[in-house]
Amino acid sequence: MKLHEALRQKWILAAIAVMSASTLQAQREMKTINDSWEFRKPTETEWKMVNLPHTYNLDAYQQPNYYQGKGIYRRTLTLPEVIPHRRYYLKIDAASKAAEVRMNGKEIGSHAGGYTAFIFDITPYIQK
């Protein structure tokens, strides 16, 4: 009888775990923000509209002395509603070589290693 009760308890715990996982998954909401970015090189003053992924020196190997420096990307993001006690994350799928990420004028993090994804918790940087 004890074995039967132990198995029953394990099945109940497993069912609760599955239901909890599906509830957490249902609460996650992802938005793609690849369009409408502005880009410029530090040596330029004009911003160009680009969509991500973007390569600013795509034809570089066809030109002698092509630009190999930094590029600056920016975009204004507006959340329709900031939900209290919810965490907000920014996932960047790839950035060539290195990235310094800023939000509302504050550095939120950096990443070294081209073409690998990285994530920052941006919750403290969201202006309400």
Over residues 36-55, the pLDDT tens digits come to 999 999 999 999 999 999 88
Q: What residues does each domain of the chain span?
A: 1-29, 30-125
Task: Reply yes or no on domain 30-125 having CATH 1.10.630.10.
Answer: no
Residue 17's pLDDT band, with cuts at 50, 70 and 90, is: low
- pLDDT category at 18 given cuts 50, 70, 90 is low
Short-list 126, 33, 31, CA closest to 83:
126
Stated pTM of the model: 0.72
Within 8 A by CB and 6+ apart from 56, the residues are 39, 41, 67, 71
